[in-house]
Amino acid sequence: MQPKLHGIVILLLTLCVSDTAWAQKTAAGKNEAKHYFPPERLSVMPVIFTPKGESVPKKDLDAVILRHLKWTQRRYGELLGTTFEIEDKVQRVGGKKTLPQYRKREGDAVLDFAAECLDHFKYNRFNCPHVFLMVIVNPKDDWPLGVGCALNGGYNTGPGALMMSTDVFTKLPNTQSTLEHEIGHSFGLPHVDVYGIDLNGNSRSLMSYNRQHWTKGFEPAVSPATMIPEDIRGLALNDRALPNLEFSESNDVPKDYKLFWTPIPLNRCKLDGQPDYAIDVRTNAGAAFDSKVENCVVGHFRPSPGPEVFYDAGSMWHSEAVSSTVTLDLKFPFPVELTKIRLYSGHSEKYHPVKSFACSVPSPNGTPNTLARHEMKSFNGEVTFTATESQDWHLALTPGESKTVVIRGLRFYSGITEIFPPQLCLVE
């Protein structure tokens, strides 16, 4: 977002608890698949959001919003060779609270508006197939300032949202450049400063605050924003929004350009009335070398090539030494049906692999029901089993000679559908 349009909301992860009533309510939504199945594709849905007590704008505003949105769509196509889908009708949602009540939350209000849109359209944060472009009716001033976010964090985890005021579309000059920037956030892109680039400098990225990129009404900027290789690489990870985009270092990285070593994903958000995008995980083996067992799930999955040591405490879990079996107990926010679990172990293609692992769920009488066991033939492996529904899942891991294991990530499948996909996935 641009100067005067404050930073993207990045919220801390909080672990969620079971909400069976929520699951039953959302299971009957528009998506005929299970309520926790992510959408195959995303489209941008423009929404005029009218807080309680405010007057609904005239239809003239719809045409202005759609004209800007279609311009953004074309602009992304020019920069990427492919672009995102849009809904060509502006929807209208009436808010449950007054404008002063929403604005007490400042930038976090984007999450309140998004939660109400999910409820209005009968989706949830897992199955929603849209990025909500929410134009907030405010006849008094230019609040809210522009904010965009990926609701579940990461690059390919589902829906997004961005909010802008009616003033931005009717009175302020830099509507288009702001929209291009905020849609980038809703697809998962961070600001350029996470890659060591001056946010307020002369970066050519549309994810910077470079004033030279500002548009004026429907007139292009004197120096239009483009995308740096990190932007293209990040967007290429979002197959739901841009399924035809591929990133190639040979084609997309200029000679002598130093590409940042990894994509940086946005954090998850907390939404009122929605379970958190998280899986609670516990272990009997502690956590060593500044790692966290939570890194196993819904995290950042990267290759760990050798021969150099490639251990990353921020994305991997390194157990302490155990005398026998390492256990992981997983609790989803609601019961899920799984048929397969993939496990990525070890680091640097050399250290602390899992030798075998088994998966079980509790039976009605409380005893474990073992579903499958797998002898690992490499650092990575998977167990498959008959479709089983449970909220609680237990993994028993056999370590090697070091008596410790390193887990780079777990992935979960129901048939061919991956559920709770990681925020960053750079592995096959």
What pLDDT sits at residue 24?
53
Walking along the chain (428 residues) 10 residues at a time, the average pLDDT comes out as 39 37 52 87 98 96 98 98 98 98 97 98 98 97 96 98 96 95 98 98 97 96 97 98 98 97 96 97 98 97 92 97 97 98 96 97 93 96 97 98 97 98 94
Contact between 419 and 413 under an 8 Å Cβ cutoff? The reply is: yes
Q: Quote the tokens at residue 383.
A: 């167990």
280-425 maps to which CATH number?
A: 2.60.120.260
What pLDDT sits at residue 26?
59
**Torsion angle, alpha carbons of 274, 275, 278, 282, to 10:** 160
Domains 20-252 and 280-425 belong to one CATH topology: no
Q: Could you tell me what percent of the chain has a pLDDT over 90?
A: 90
- Scored b (16 or more CB within 10 A) or e, 182-206 reads bbbbbbbbbbbbbbebebeeebbbb
Number of helical H runs and strand E runs in the chain: 8, 16
What pLDDT sits at residue 22?
59
Q: Please name the amino acid found at residue 160.
A: G
Neighbours of 43 (CB within 10 A): 15
Structure confidence by residue, pLDDT tens digits, 38-66: 999 999 999 999 999 999 999 999 999 99
CATH among 2.60.40, 3.40.630, 3.30.390, 3.40.390 for 20-252: 3.40.390
Angle at 231 between CA 227 and CA 236, to 5 degrees: 115
Give the whole-angstrom CA distance, residue 421 versus residue 185: 19
Q: Quote the tokens at residue 196.
A: 């060591």
Q: What is the pTM (predicted TM-score) of this model?
A: 0.93
What pLDDT sits at residue 306?
87
Residue 234, classified by CB atoms within 10 Å of its CB into exposed (0-12), middle (13-18) or buried (19+), is buried
Domain range summary for the chain, segments of one domain joined by +:
20-252, 280-425
What pLDDT sits at residue 25?
56
Structure confidence by residue, pLDDT tens digits, 307-335: 899 999 999 999 999 999 999 999 999 99
Neighbours of 378 (CB within 10 A): 9
What pLDDT sits at residue 33?
87
What pLDDT sits at residue 401?
94
What pLDDT sits at residue 205?
98
